[in-house]
Chain A
Amino acid sequence: MTTSLETAEHPEKLRRVAIDPVSRVEGHGKVTILLDADNKVHQVRLHIVEFRGFEKFIQGRPYWEVPVMVQRLCGICPVSHHLAAAKAFDQVLGIEHLTPTAEKIRRLMHYGQIMQSHALHFFHLSSPDLLFGFDSDVAKRNIVGVAEKYPEIARQGVLLRKFGQEVIRITAGKRIHGTGAIPGGVNKVITLAERDELLQNIYQMIDWSRTAVHLAQQLHEANPALYDSFGLFRSSIMSLVGNDGEMDLYHGKLRARDEDGRLIFDGVDYQDYQKMIAEGVKSWTYMKFPFIRSLGEKRGWYKVGPLARVQNCDSIPTPFAEAERRVFIDYAGGVPFHGPLAYHWTRMIEMLHAVEVIKDLLHDDAILDGERMAHGERRREGVGVIEAPRGTLFHHYQVGEDDLVTMCNLIVSTTSNNQPMNEAVRQVARRYLHGQEVTPDLLNHIEVAIRAFDPCLSCATHALGKMPLEVTLLDAGGCEVSRLTKSAAGKFCA
């Protein structure tokens, strides 16, 4: 347990607190908090399961198989990987523009994924903390407790998610492991009956999504002292934006802003992402650390996801969501808002936007019929980027003349958000760590901070229970001083 802590100036004077999710079956993480000689929090590291194995695994496979196969990468947002890979192979096939039908079916699938993922995160995973308080009775602090105390909110959450899943099913063929997007287009359209079924409920979904935005907003307004400052840190932001600077979660150009909102770059074709973004490596993890080249490895980290996107775009091209964006920008006072708990509010604004986009697409006959495939001149390389529920997702491939993949590089959203999560946890630890004891209070607050980012860790998306965590306080020599474990059922034990 004496990994060299290369960013600390005097590691020998530091003490480590390790927070380990107990469940290591799928995605898992580990938080290390470094204390300085005065027992002040010095640095935090969140270790996230890395994806390198997969990038190797995909090498030597035929390219047309990859958009389906990459869904094995992550059980948490498979549709985003499916679409990002398909977009990369559109490029390999030399296709700049899909047919209108293909583009719209894919958008429908993607916004369905945004809707189901955001609903799951807000209602199932976060609302118990937000509605009952971060240190309320753990036995009640879950979706079952929400269903008892706020049955209407819980019901709407369940049905919003279900609607999103249904959109995925009819566009991809299945709720999970679908095949809808293929290099160059899509393999299916939707039937009139499927469309009419969804249209029946879409206005209800819009209503409920507006209610959800207002619920998130009220949480901030009711307790600004907590909500505005919890885990607060400042950073750059990055996302795709549409051609006119509007929010576009399916396609666009890369834009980054610094912590004050000034543009760092804009209008960047993501085929050239490597000119803007580099990936740092560290001795203590296989995970890479993406950063904005012009700012350098130390200062170039950035946050992605809803809080970045809602503030990076100039507008949201659907009316209800745009109105809510303005309310949020006003609340922030016209300057970038960095408090991580605002991820929830902005996530709900995006969910509302997704539902409005789905509504518009359902009224477009191109999703019922039309040419599905486009054609182009074959290339050796392609990059596909999409705004996944958790943030910007990069898929980069090279393909040999024999059609087999020779190189794969992925930057997943949670990797970009790694450093931001470290910072948020550091701030929280500074506020809630007292003395040398790991308390349930500290553990609960760290969990809430990590959760705000909606990281794709299996421990963080545990369906019903709490995030399983183990916190160990170690002294500088690696000896354990204090330890606390919380199970997925919310039980603490020393």
Chain B
Amino acid sequence: MSKTFTLDGKTIPFKDGQTIIQAALDAGYYIPHLCHHPEFKPHGSCKLCTVVVSGHQTASCTLQPAEGMVVESETEQLNAERRALTQMLFVEGNHFCPSCEKSGDCQLQATAYHLGMMTTHYDHFFPNRPLDASHDDYLLDLNRCILCSLCVRASRDVDGKNVFALAGRGAQTHLIVNARSGRLADTDFSATDKAAHVCPVGVILPKKRGFAVPIGERTFDKQPIDAYVDSRLARKES
């Protein structure tokens, strides 16, 4: 007999060591998330996966369930908070969906649709973040970074390269490239790296290929993000 907990009234089985979100996704149940990726250790930074356990809010990507635990996720209140967090992510960076090549394949955009976000609500920061086009095959458009650290984790834990890091604190946090010049071309980053394929938004992009997939055939044209319950499917391995 495997252990179970309940999520919005549904019984979810789990194995030891699994987090709430892993068990839920394995069981075919979607909890909104951006910095969670099933192949990597939790980071717990975006807080979109927040659920309520025994009256307390907690990140479902970091908490392991216990037998008989009662978890709430699809509540009006939680979704309102998730929507506000998503709006903040939009205004903190420079996200212009109509001319972004990641449009239709972007998890931030798809999550915003899922949460029924109609406007950005807050004032835009309009940060000044330069592009790094130094690498022959890959472009970094930091305007769209949501600081999920997936590239950091992928480069460190899978590629063994440490190409990316998060620097600064709080509102000053930003993604850096580990090279004295700060340029991607001066690292050993390569197109076959895991880190080249994990960015949930449009920062780490293969060059010369933008818009090759027509509208209608992109990841989230086919079905909304919550239909890709196994989040591995939601990531377009480009």
A: which residues have CB within 8 A of B?
60-62, 64-65, 67-69, 71-72, 172-174, 177-180, 182, 187-188, 400, 402-404
**Do B215 and A179 touch (CB < 8 A)?**
yes
Q: Knowing A62-B133, A402-B134 touch, does A177 contact B98 (C-beta < 8 A)?
A: yes
- Which residues of chain B from 203 to 227 have a CB within 8 Å of any chain A CB? 205, 207-217
- Interchain Cβ contacts under 8 Å between A and B, 9 examples: A62-B131, A62-B207, A62-B210, A65-B210, A68-B210, A173-B214, A178-B215, A182-B212, A187-B213
Docked Cα-Cα span, A274 to B89, in Å, equals: 45
- Which residues of chain B from 122 to 170 have a CB within 8 Å of any chain A CB? 130-131, 133-134, 139, 141
Closest residue to B209 on the A side, CB-wise?
Answer: A64
A-side contacts of B214, CB under 8 Å: 173, 179-180, 187-188
Closest residue to B215 on the A side, CB-wise?
Answer: A173
Closest residue to B97 on the A side, CB-wise?
Answer: A177
Q: Which of A69, A173, A180, A187 contacts B99 (CB 8 A)?
A: A69
- Which residues of chain B from 177 to 214 have a CB within 8 Å of any chain A CB? 205, 207-214
B-side contacts of A172, CB under 8 Å: 215
CB distance from B205 to the nearest CB of A (A): 8
Q: Which of B131, B208, B210 contacts A60 (CB 8 A)?
A: B131
**Do B98 and A187 touch (CB < 8 A)?**
no
B-side contacts of A187, CB under 8 Å: 211-214
Closest residue to A176 on the B side, CB-wise?
Answer: B98
Q: Knowing A62-B207, A62-B210, A64-B208 touch, does A404 contact B216 (C-beta < 8 A)?
A: no
Known: A173-B215, A188-B217. 17 other contacts (CB 8 A): A62-B139, A62-B207, A64-B209, A65-B101, A65-B210, A68-B99, A69-B99, A71-B98, A172-B215, A177-B98, A177-B99, A188-B214, A188-B216, A400-B133, A402-B133, A403-B207, A404-B131
CB distance from A106 to the nearest CB of B (A): 13
Docked Cα-Cα span, A62 to B213, in Å, equals: 17
Q: Which 9 A-B pairs have the closest CB atoms?
A: A173-B215, A188-B214, A402-B133, A69-B99, A64-B210, A187-B214, A179-B211, A177-B98, A68-B99
- Which residues of chain B from 79 to 138 have a CB within 8 Å of any chain A CB? 98-101, 130-131, 133-134
B: which residues have CB within 8 A of A?
98-101, 130-131, 133-134, 139, 141, 205, 207-217
**Do A65 and B131 touch (CB < 8 A)?**
no
B-side contacts of A68, CB under 8 Å: 98-99, 101, 210-211
A-side contacts of B141, CB under 8 Å: 62
Docked Cα-Cα span, A99 to B200, in Å, equals: 33
**Among B131, B210, B216, B217, which residue has the most Cβ atoms of chain A within 10 A?**
B210
**Do B211 and A403 touch (CB < 8 A)?**
no
Docked Cα-Cα span, A69 to B211, in Å, equals: 11
**Do A403 and B208 touch (CB < 8 A)?**
yes
CB distance from A405 to the nearest CB of B (A): 10
CB distance from B133 to the nearest CB of A (A): 4
Docked Cα-Cα span, A188 to B209, in Å, equals: 14
Docked Cα-Cα span, A451 to B225, in Å, equals: 47
**Do A71 and B211 touch (CB < 8 A)?**
no
CB distance from B195 to the nearest CB of A (A): 19
A-side contacts of B208, CB under 8 Å: 64, 403
Docked Cα-Cα span, A61 to B215, in Å, equals: 21
CB distance from B207 to the nearest CB of A (A): 6
Q: Which of B100, B139, B207, B216 contacts A173 (CB 8 A)?
A: B216
Closest residue to B213 on the A side, CB-wise?
Answer: A187
**Do A174 and B133 touch (CB < 8 A)?**
no
Closest residue to B211 on the A side, CB-wise?
Answer: A179
Docked Cα-Cα span, A177 to B215, in Å, equals: 10
B-side contacts of A188, CB under 8 Å: 214, 216-217
CB distance from A163 to the nearest CB of B (A): 20
**Do B207 and A182 touch (CB < 8 A)?**
no
Docked Cα-Cα span, A348 to B210, in Å, equals: 37
**Do A71 and B215 touch (CB < 8 A)?**
no
